[in-house]
Chains A and B, each alone.
Chain A
Amino acid sequence: MRGLLWFSAFITVAILVLIVGYIFYKGFPLINFEFIFGDYSPTGGGGIWPMIVTTVYTIVISLVIATPIGILAAVYLQEYAKQGRLVRTIRFATESLTGIPSIIYGLFGAVFFVTTLKLGMSIIAASLTLTIIVLPVVIRTTEEALKTVPKAYREGSLALGTTKLQTLIKVILPSSMPGILSGIILSMGRIIGESAAIFLTAGTVAAMPASIFSSARTLTVHSYLVTQEAGDIQLAAAIGIVLIIIILILNFSATFISKKLNKADY
């Protein structure tokens, strides 16, 4: 049994090392200053800076919208709403939303944000679509985090003559910060990994976006297209490295921020 457990763990790590190793082996020779910070050139060569900028735009815009809405919704469901049929239905709905394939969200975004709201193929249309994709993730993880706050904290705070809102802001939210943060990190992963929905809502224009209302191409979409159109595995791998580094930076900064917010909690 122990051997089996060990073997499973080994396989998992080995696959991870293999994938990351392969990507680095393939892509690393391409990485240089010009590749990362250079403008894209359709004739070959050139850099991926426009895609990096587009990716960061989509992450920031979606999270700036999804995080507050998600946290407020979770707080309402968990702390304020009367636990009954309505709340159960909402929970069931958010859970189901997490399982829907993203191409469906993409189609919805293409119809609603791009066409009906006349946003056109644009970063903003893609970000709003991504907001809908990650909202259930933020709500679920925040709810779970709120649930783990010990009842003793709530009682301790309320017994000191504080209001429910004060208790929420001063004790409950800070104690659930690590959980909420992991939800945000999960969401970032989901946004970065998304291609289908973005493809359908932001388009594939491979140029520096003039504004968030421009059509543009994220790193993931770019990596898909260069493999698909040009069969350039090496370039795709180099983009993969940049994606991995962006994810690492975002995760570290999220963890760092949460540590800052929880100074006394060790």
Chain B
Amino acid sequence: MKQSEGTTKISVKDLDLFYGDKQALFNVSLDIQEKKVTALIGPSGCGKSTFLRTLNRMNDLIDGVKINGDIVIENEDIYKSNDVIKLRTKVGMVFQKPNLFPMSIYDNVAYGPRAQGIKSRKELNKIVEESLRGAAIWDEVKDRLKSSALGLSGGQQQRVCIARAIAMKPEVILMDEPTSALDPISTLKVEELIAQLKKDYTIVIVTHNMQQAARVSDKTAFFLSGEIIEYDVTNSVFSNPKDQRTEDYVTGRFG
């Protein structure tokens, strides 16, 4: 490797995933680095979301999913331990479409901490403010914390979703095409936010937007039909791909 490697935060080894009889991931192995942004790219249906959702065990919600292999986050094999709750407080997630609950902005951000048993008004106020500041949305919403979160624009909602995720003080944040439902200006804001967040969090982001992957990520994994074809420093993947299929994809020849 050309660039100095950081510490490994998540280590995935020989991961296979089946939806019933249908295999969606084949022998996926990769190490995700701490406090870096890792982008997952690849054509539609290649398994990016499926892979992302193995990292916080969201696939457990789907009937008939079978998983082989190991995913180790800080010396703990997350599929061997049964504490899914703890895992999900450590590994937060931001979805493709903003999915704030029909509650006030405040209640949305305080939702996770409250579920963890935090009741003190003072403490919650502090968490809500810090999280909204952390998601660069505090100034826009500070005067309307008590009004419905669904009254915000899509871009604002998505940043409140990020605030809601960081209110749990996670270590890793998973993002599944977080800007695909947003306009260009909101997209830019979220991208700037990602660049800031990586100081404190390990980020894994799925994106269909090549420029976005190039702009925000440190490393990029190229998926094709449930396999990792290439995984390297983002720069190399885009300017000097080793595999022909990667080259075809990043230059827009298919996908």
Contact = CB atoms under 8 A, between A and B. Distances in A.
27 contacts: A155-B99, A156-B95, A156-B99, A157-B111, A158-B88, A159-B56, A159-B165, A160-B88, A160-B89, A160-B92, A160-B115, A160-B164, A161-B87, A161-B88, A161-B89, A161-B115, A161-B168, A162-B115, A163-B85, A170-B115, A171-B101, A174-B102, A175-B101, A264-B107, A264-B147, A265-B102, A266-B148
Interface in B73-90: 85-89
Interface string B91-121: 0110101011111100100011001100000
B236 to A, nearest CB: 32
B102 A264 contact: yes
Contacts of A171: 101
A262 B102 contact: yes
Contacts of B115: 160-163, 166, 170
B93 A159 contact: yes
Contacts of B151: 266
A161 B61 contact: no
A73 to B, nearest CB: 22
Contacts of A155: 58, 61, 95, 99
Contacts of A150: 99
What 10 A-B pairs have minimum CB-CB distances, sorted nearest first?
A: A161-B89, A152-B99, A160-B112, A161-B88, A159-B93, A265-B102, A156-B99, A162-B115, A264-B103, A264-B104
Interface of chain A, helix or strand or loop or mixed?
helix
Contacts, number: 74
A153 interface: yes
Interface string A155-184: 111111111001000110011000000000
B115 to A, nearest CB: 4
Given A158-B61, A163-B85, A153 B168 contact: no
Interface of B: 56, 58, 61, 85-89, 92-93, 95, 97, 99-104, 107, 111-112, 115-116, 147-151, 161, 164-165, 168
Nearest to A152: B99
Interface in A119-165: 150, 152-163
Nearest to B148: A264
Given A160-B92, A161-B85, A171-B101, 10 more contacts: A152-B99, A153-B101, A156-B100, A156-B164, A159-B88, A160-B88, A160-B164, A161-B89, A174-B102, A264-B149
Which of A154, A160, A163, A170 neighbours the largest number of chain B CB atoms within 10 Å of its CB? A160
A154 B101 CA distance: 10
Contacts of B89: 160-161
Contacts of A264: 102-104, 107, 147-149
Given A152-B97, A152-B99, A159 B104 contact: no
Contacts of B99: 150, 152-153, 155-156
A264 B144 CA distance: 12
A215 to B, nearest CB: 47
A160 B116 CA distance: 10
A154 B85 CA distance: 14
A236 to B, nearest CB: 45
Contacts of A175: 101-102
A163 B116 CA distance: 10
A161 B115 CA distance: 8
A62 B100 CA distance: 36
Interface string A232-266: 00000000000000000000000000000010111
Contacts of A170: 111, 115
